[in-house]
Structure formats: C-alpha cells, structure tokens
Amino acid sequence: MFWLNWIDRLERKYSRLAVKNLTRYLVIGTAFVFVLSLFGDFRYIASWLTLEPSLVMKGQIWRLVTFVFVPFVGSFWVIFALYIFYTFGMALERYWGSFKFNLYYFIGVLAAIAAAFLGEFWGGRVTSEFLYMSVFLAFAYLNPNYELLLFFIIPVKIKYLAWFDIIFTVLSIIFRPETRIVALLSFTSFIVFFGKEVFDVYLSPRVRKLDRQLRRRKFKVIASSVKTPEIIYTCCICGRTSKEYPELKFAYCFKCGSDYEYCQEHLKNHEHIIRH
C-alpha cells in the first residue's frame, strides 16, 4: 500500500527524531498549566499559550506549540480527559512505536494550525479538544471491543463511544461555527492512517452493491421500454391467423418445410408441396 510504504520510509529515515513517551509529556504539560491557572497570579496563563494567528504573525511563535498544553475543559473534567488521553495515547505508542504515534499526533497538530489560520478570516479558536478525540478514534478503530469504565463506573465498549465522538464532531461542524474548521480537519490524521482501509473494507463493497442495484434498475427500465414484436402465424390453406384465432394451434409441415404454415385442422390434411 502506497501510504503504508510512505510512512515506513519516513520511519526508517527519521525514527531517531521521534519523541519517546510523547503522551506522558503532553499530559504532564497540560496538568502543569491547569494547576498554575488555579493560582491568582497565573489565572490568565492560557491567554499566553492559546493559538492566535494574529499574535503569531506579530512574533509570538511559541503559540504554535503551547496551545496543545492548554486544557479545553475545567475542574474535575481535566482529570478525566487527561486519564483517557494518557491511556489511549500510551497504548497507541506501544502498538505503533514512537515514530508513528508522533506522526499521527503531529499531523493533527498541523491540521489544527491550518484550521486556526483558515478560521482567522471569520473568527473561531483552536484547542487541543479535537486532538484528543483523534487519538481516541484511532484507538477505538484498532480495539473496537475494548471496554472502558465510563466515569470510572459504567463499562462501555469503546466502539460505541467512538460513534458518539464522530457524531459530536459532525454536530460541531454543523452547529459550532467557532470550531467548524478545526473539527472538519480533525479527521486528517485518521484519514491518512486508516482512510484507504476504511474505504476498502466498509465503503467500497457498499458502493459496488449500490452500483449493481442501479445498473439492474436501469436494465429493467430499458428492458421494459423495449416491446417484443408480435409473431403472427397464417395458415396457407384457410388463411386464418393466430391473432384472429388465438385458440388454434399453428405449426410447420416437416415435408413442406418452414416456408408454409398450417393451422391444426390443415396440418395433416393438405396436399404436400414438393420442393425442388
């Protein structure tokens, strides 16, 4: 597969640049920013770290990196979000290796940065929210039957939560103008890694089935519009036809040949025509 070869070639060439335990650093950094924001002197620390394209253009380049450490939820939910992200992020890194996990995550980061600059034309903001969801979606695709304790109590298979994730993202694209672009581009990492497989396994058979159904329907329409010509037999003795007398049977005489047709009354009661 082309995309797989492309990723493998990058890994062979640049694997030494991968950040090992990237998930751990992201969680520690986000927790650190959250704890700092609880103190009065650092209450507005997030405003110095969020991704604001207009400020980046003025020289605040660090915002291109630091926005991934800004918590997108507050209070108790930060603990839950970081726990989920740490669990799935570390699992993906163990499964893929550091380089592929780095690549998956940073493709999402680049997509978020692109979304921020595109969204600058009509407003909106970029957070790490959809980066977390992207990692969650990758884990759910690879382990659909993994059971997660929702709120640390309720066991739920992760594939159902993944569908909720997708529905939430789609609804964000439709109803949340401030995150519309970043929500749309949040699928970039997933599409790069799994897009072809999803199409081949799930979408392509359905597309082919739909195409076959459409072809059959088209054939039926064409066939129904074509009228089969009516065949009329005429007795060469009495002149009666199969159209006028549908109750009569008509046939050819094996001695006279197929050039002469007879009704059932004259089939065996006629003077044979000698062919030369």
Q: Can you read off the two tokens belonging to residue 126?
A: 């970029």
Q: Can you read off the two tokens belonging to residue 273?
A: 């025509």
Q: Can you read off the two tokens belonging to residue 124?
A: 């909106």
**Residue at 210 is within a domain:** no
Q: Do 23 and 147 reside in the same domain of the chain? A: yes
Q: Which of 103-107, 169-173, 203-207 has the lowest mean pLDDT?
A: 203-207
Q: Do 113 and 243 reside in the same domain of the chain? A: no
Q: Which residue has the higher pLDDT, 224 or 28?
A: 28
**Residue at 98 is within a domain:** yes
Tell me the mean pLDDT in the region 153-182.
78
Q: Do 251 and 134 reside in the same domain of the chain? A: no
Q: Do 179 and 250 reside in the same domain of the chain? A: no
CA distances from residue 107 to 47, 159, 206 in whole angstroms, order as listed: 24, 23, 29
Q: Do 92 and 166 reside in the same domain of the chain? A: yes
Q: What is the 3-state secondary structure (H, E, C) of the chain?
A: CHHHHHHHHHHHHHHHHCCCCHHHHHHHHHHHHHHHHCCHHHCCCHHHHCECHHHHCCCCCCHHHHHHHCCCCCCHHHHHHHHHHHHHHHHHHHHHCHHHHHHHHHHHHHHHHHHHHHHCCCCCCECCHHHHHHHHHHHHHHCCCCEEEECCCEEEEHHHHHHHHHHHHHHHHHHCHHHHHHHHHCCHHHHHHHHHHHHHHHHHHHHHHHHHHHHHHHHHHHHHHCCCCCCCCECCCCCCECCCCCCCCEEEECCCEEEEEEECCCCCCCCCCCCC
Question: How many structural domains does the chain have?
Answer: 2
Predicted confidence at residue 21, as pLDDT, reads: 92
Separation between Cα atoms, residue 84 and residue 151, nearest integer Å: 10
pLDDT over 90 (residue 244): no
Q: Do 199 and 236 reside in the same domain of the chain? A: no
Predicted confidence at residue 218, as pLDDT, reads: 61
Q: Which residue has the higher pLDDT, 99 or 232?
A: 99
pLDDT in tens, 64-113: 998 999 887 777 788 888 988 998 999 999 999 999 999 999 999 998 88
Predicted confidence at residue 1, as pLDDT, reads: 43
Residue 225: which pLDDT band, with cuts at 50, 70 and 90? low
State the chain's mean pLDDT as an integer: 80
Predicted confidence at residue 61, as pLDDT, reads: 92
Q: Do 171 and 244 reside in the same domain of the chain? A: no
Q: Do 156 and 48 reside in the same domain of the chain? A: yes
Q: Which of 104-108, 186-190, 222-226 has the lowest mean pLDDT?
A: 222-226
Predicted confidence at residue 2, as pLDDT, reads: 44
Tell me the mean pLDDT in the region 138-144.
88
Q: Do 237 and 185 reside in the same domain of the chain? A: no
Tell me the mean pLDDT in the region 169-186.
74
**Residue at 59 is within a domain:** yes
Which pTM was predicted?
A: 0.68
CB 231 within 8 A of CB 223: no
Predicted confidence at residue 26, as pLDDT, reads: 94
CA distances from residue 191 to 92, 200, 221 in whole angstroms, order as listed: 16, 13, 39
Counting residues of the chain whose pLDDT is more than 90, the rounded percentage is 14
pLDDT over 90 (residue 274): no
Last residue of a domain, one of 203, 219, 243: 203
Predicted confidence at residue 100, as pLDDT, reads: 92
Separation between Cα atoms, residue 182 and residue 125, nearest integer Å: 8
CB 250 within 8 A of CB 264: yes
Q: Can you read off the two tokens belonging to residue 137?
A: 């979606």
By C-alpha distance, which of 8, 4, 18, 16 is closest to 99?
A: 18
Structural domain containing residue 258: 229-275
**Residue at 213 is within a domain:** no
**Residue at 29 is within a domain:** yes
**Residue at 4 is within a domain:** no
Q: Do 247 and 154 reside in the same domain of the chain? A: no
Separation between Cα atoms, residue 176 and residue 244, nearest integer Å: 75
**Residue at 215 is within a domain:** no
CATH of the domain at 123: 1.20.1540
Q: Do 166 and 243 reside in the same domain of the chain? A: no
Predicted confidence at residue 3, as pLDDT, reads: 47
**Residue at 5 is within a domain:** no
Q: Do 115 and 195 reside in the same domain of the chain? A: yes
